[in-house]
Structure 1
Amino acid sequence: MLSSLTRKHNDNKANLFLYSTGSTALEFQTHKTKSGYTIVSSRGHMKHALKLEDWKLANVVPIYKKGSREESGNYRPVSLTSVVGKLMETMLKERIVEHLKTHRLQDQKQHGFTSGRSCQTNLIDFFDWVTIIIDTGGAVDIAYLDFSKAFDTVPHRRLINKLQSLSLDSNIVEWIRQWLSDRQQRVVVNGVYSMQGLVTSGVPQGSVLGPILFNIFISDIAEGINGKVCLFADDTKICDRVDVPGGISQMTNDLGKLKKWWELWQLSFNVDKCKIMHLGRKNPRAEYRIFDTVLTSTSEERDLGVIISEDLRVNSQCNRAAGNAGRMLGNAGRMLGCIGRGISSRKREVLMPLYRALVRPHLEYCVQYWRTYLQKDIDILERVQRRATKMVYGLKEKSYQERLNDLNMYSLEKRRDRGDMIETFKYVKGIHKVEEGSIFKRKQSSKTKGHSLRLEGQRFKSNIRKHYFTERVVDTWNSLPVEVVEAKTVIEFKQAWDRHKAILNKR
């Protein structure tokens, strides 16, 4: 851990402390004093001690998100905090996470900053419920809710009360209370520092403890909500079925309960950025209000970076992914052109790492959720990789399949096949931490051939449900050999899958 630190960092005093003590710095103790908590070496031969106050100054760096660069609200304030403080935070976080797991206090609706969950598990979980209703001819309304500076406005006293309600160790709670109080921050832009200011609320973005403290603070936001709720940190969406008697009233009541929660816990949200999406042919397209403001209706919304359309088609997402990847590939090509126009800049050893690191992620982000089954969309995505492989010296005149063979690569479509099975393996084996039975149902044992981890497919009427992740993977997963599905780790599964496919391709 110490070897990864540099002497010139955002916290020179902390790094000096670590370098002056070597490995013994990890053997430290905390001592409570009149001025707070002090860190000293457990071996007692330190020249310097670090007070908790030394960790309370944060250098805030603005990180651009999206929109106009002239608007301050389009930047995320990330706090560069003490290195030693982060080491201490890491140890406390481990204790807190263990306590939450042991006592089953983790929020099942929260997918952000949670081990075994991700943006993709959030989308798959939420829209599994949505597509089931749409498949039966029903209609749903989705409310996308936008918190206003949620991390920066968490009230400290209320947060401490919630920590105490979880029966956490009182020393940990007291340490966090001290850590949050009397914090100072200053903005750093192009090496220029602003004046220091007192921080009266919020959890530091960029800290180790900040995300888990925020998750704890909003963990009860969905209590009493009848609809489907899914969160990724502060990104919140709620869905209710509205083509049944009382459906619209239920959605209205759920939004009202969320409004009361925001008021009680002193968080605010930007009503102007909250959106309603109406899905389903029989949707009554009702209006909803929060604080007497009618929520804007939208036919398309970016949800955790993925474009969601009210018809649940994914062509917009495919076009956007291919467009972003194509632009990145063009940038990489121009960058290599600046380095040199000769053969060396087009070698596979140069081009392919750039493609894998900078281009392909745009084509595969959360793709197990939005995977397309239409050939025109498949071709749009594959076109980017076709172009990338043609750029490699000596391969331009070969066919696409020959280029893939020479480069030891799969087509993107085959990578999506492989990705489907990897994600299924993670769900079945409990690597993705979701409620048992919420995504897949195990098939009851029978005398028919097959492995013991087979899944139960559900009936469907529409292509939307037929090609959704939780349905399309069932037959392929059930047909896998025992030695593949019984792999103990993800790496072992990938290797077993590749061997299995290699054998099938030789037949």
Structure 2
Amino acid sequence: MENQHGFRKGRSCLSKLLAHYNWFLETLAAGNNVDVVFLDFAKAFDKVDHGILLHKIKALGLRGKLRIWLHDFLTERVQSVVVDGQSSKEDTVMSGVPQGSVLGPLLFLIHMRDIGEEVSDSVLSSFADDTSISRLISNVQEVEHLQEDLNKVYSWATTNNMTFNEEKFEMLRCGPDCNIKTTTTLHTKGGSHITPTPHVKCLGVYLSADGSFSHHITETVRKARGMAGWVMKTFASREPEVMLTLWKALVQPLLDYCSQLWSPHKKADIQRLEAVQRSFTKHIRGLHDLNYWDRLKILGIYSKQRRRERYRAIYIWKVLEKQVPDPTSLALQAHLNERTGRKCSRRTLPSNAPGRCKTLLAASLAHEGPKIFNSLHKNVRNITGCSVNTFKYGLDKILRTVPDKPPVPGYTAKCRTSNTIPDQVALLDRDARTGSSGGPPRL
């Protein structure tokens, strides 16, 4: 159950993706290839065999009245279809967990809990029924071992009366050894080749074979611009309250989703994402003639870069507070110093890793997150034993004192070249000592 991230406290799509990506980068940094196969179950929740599920419940030690109650909860259900007040004939439900019920997700997890028991050295990870299986590939034999582990998952599906949408299987083949990637293949349960692709959409995020998130950022910007355009066409009002509500409800979530994972390090990507909010706020009544920095202040919102860094700081705090799993397998640890306060340990970048891997590792949550967290005031870092909302309140109180001046194309001469929290905190400290400051450009 450790690699199951669905319907569990502190687990989410984000926790699954972070754990996978951290393992993925560290494997590539060691000079190995990585193969990742994304499986697709057909109607997984509807195909749960009641007899098999009840047997697994019994194996967990649930007996007596509780097991009888669960048996009655699952079996002898009927369903019908109602259209225009006319009802079809009732039919018995032969399988599946009751969706929409409180117990449904728990029963599904019980059914899926042993899917990876026979898998050897491959890494099987799931969010509910969305399952991927990955393996470090150092030679051709490792590909064969991955196929053996896939066969074990196929066998599990047969034993548990589950079926696959084999035509929806996807695979990423990553790493420097092109010979392995071109001379070996993996197969579905039916014997068809699983075709490698450069990008796979997993839980709403595009993962790429080169380890970057450039394709995901391109798609995110496209969708956010499309939604912003729809808002402009659909709603006539340009009043600040209306526009800000629409932004937060419809556009901003597209730019925020799992950003702790894919937050970009390239200046061009940072500016592409920022441009969506910059353009949208320019259409708000009364703000057209103001520069972007002033628009952010008046609206009381963060730049997109600052918002992504804030999310990363919050996630690191949650890791230190044991509210979410550590994506680095316990590498993120708190160190308390009476003078400097609590800080989060940072992994050193592997010296022998390829340059591209080093860049990706340096930009990842595991490395950049602690850097952001450690740059915060110690009063914020020392907040502990409380709800995440309490930490957010303290964090926002401090961030309001840190300049939020994102660079904009064409104004870099007047902008500070970096708007990151660590750099802005350092510049703020320097300005306090020297008495200098940076003026806002017209954006």
What's the TM-score once normalised by structure 1's chain length? 0.73
Structure 2 match to 1:269: 164
Cα deviation, residue 188, structure 1: 5.0
Structure 2 unaligned segments of length 5 or more: list them. Answer: 404-427, 433-443
User: Is this contact kept in 1: 2:200–2:206, CA < 8 A?
Assistant: yes
Distance 2:97 2:86 in 1: 24
Which of 336, 341, 365 lines up with 2:235 in the alignment?
A: 336
Q: Match of 1:272, as an amino acid?
A: E
Deviation at 1:189, TM superposition (A): 6.1
Per-residue CA deviations over 1:470-497 (Å, capped at 9, x if unaligned) read 1111222233333212322211211222
The CA distance in 2 between the partners of 1:356 and 1:191, in whole Å, is 39
CA RMSD in angstroms comes to: 2.1
CA shift, 1:351, in A, is: 1.0
Residues 187 and 193, structure 1, Cα contact 8 Å, conserved in 2: yes
Label 1:127 to 1:327 Cα distance change in 2 as closer, same or farther (>3 A).
Answer: same
Within 5 Å, give how 1:176-325 maps onto structure 2.
176-188=70-82, 193-225=87-119, 226-244=121-139, 246-283=141-178, 284-285=180-181, 286-289=184-187, 290-325=189-224
Equivalent pair of 1:439/1:470 in contact (CA under 8 Å): no
More strand by share: 1
The match for 1:28 is none
Distance across 2 between alignment mates of 1:459 and 1:328:
39
Alignment partners' CA distance in 2, 1:305 and 1:375? 24
User: 2:274 matched to 1:374?
Assistant: no
1:312-461 equivalent positions in 2, closer than 5 A: 312-337=211-236, 345-432=237-324, 434=325, 438=329, 440-442=331-333, 450-460=340-350, 461=353
Q: Is the 8 A contact 1:154 1:266 kept in 2?
A: yes
For 1:160 and 1:379, locate their aligned partners in 2 and report how far apart those are by CA, in whole Å.
54
Alpha-carbon deviations, 1:42-74, whole Å to 9, x = none? xxxxxxxxxxxxxxxxxxxxxxxxxxxxxxxxx
Query: Using the alignment, how far apart are the partners of 1:117 and 1:272 within structure 2?
Result: 29
2:319 and 2:326 in contact (8 A); partners too:
no
> Could you state the TM-score of these two structures normalised by the residue count of structure 2?
0.83
Distance 1:311 1:353 in 2: 37
Alpha-carbon distance in 1 for matches of 2:359, 2:84: 52
Distance 1:213 1:244, change over 3 A: same
Q: Report the Cα distance in structure 1 between the residues aligned to 2:306 and 2:326, rounded to whole angstroms.
A: 29
Q: What is aligned with 1:13?
A: none
CA shift, 1:319, in A, is 1.4
Identity %: 31
Whether 1:113 aligns to 2:7 is yes
The 3 A distance-change label for structure 1 pair 466 and 435 is closer
| Matches of 2:63 and 2:227, distance apart in 1 | 49
* 2:388 equivalent in structure 1: 490
Question: How far apart are the structure 1 equivalents of 2:84 and 2:197?
Answer: 38
Shift in CA distance, 169/350, structure 1 to aligned 2, threshold 3 Å: farther
| Mapping of residues 19-98 of structure 1, within 5 Å | none
How many correspondences in the alignment? Answer: 392
Q: Highest relative contact order (Cα 8 Å, sep 6+), 1 or 2?
A: 2
| Partner-residue secondary structure (3-state), 2:400 | helix
User: Secondary structure of the equivalent of 1:294?
Assistant: coil
**Paired residues of 1:164 and 1:170 also in contact (CA < 8 A):** no
Q: Match of 1:125, as an amino acid?
A: A
Q: Deviations over 1:288-323 (max 9, x none)?
A: 123322222221110001111111221111111111
Counterpart-to-counterpart distance in 1, 2:83 and 2:245 = 32
* CA-to-aligned-CA distance 1:99-118 (integer Å, 9 cap, x gap): xxxxxxxx111111112111
Q: Which amino acid aligns with 1:257?
A: K
Q: Deviations over 1:373-405 (max 9, x none)?
A: 111111221111112211210101111111111
Q: 1:457 to 1:184 in 2, by over 3 A?
A: same
- Find the counterpart in structure 2 of residue 474 from structure 1: 370
Letter in 1 for 2:273: L
Task: Report the counterpart of residue 35 of structure 1 in structure 2.
Answer: none
1:50 match: none
Structure 1 unaligned blocks of 5 or more: 1-106, 338-344
Distance in 1 between residues matched to 2:273 and 2:45, nearest whole Å: 36
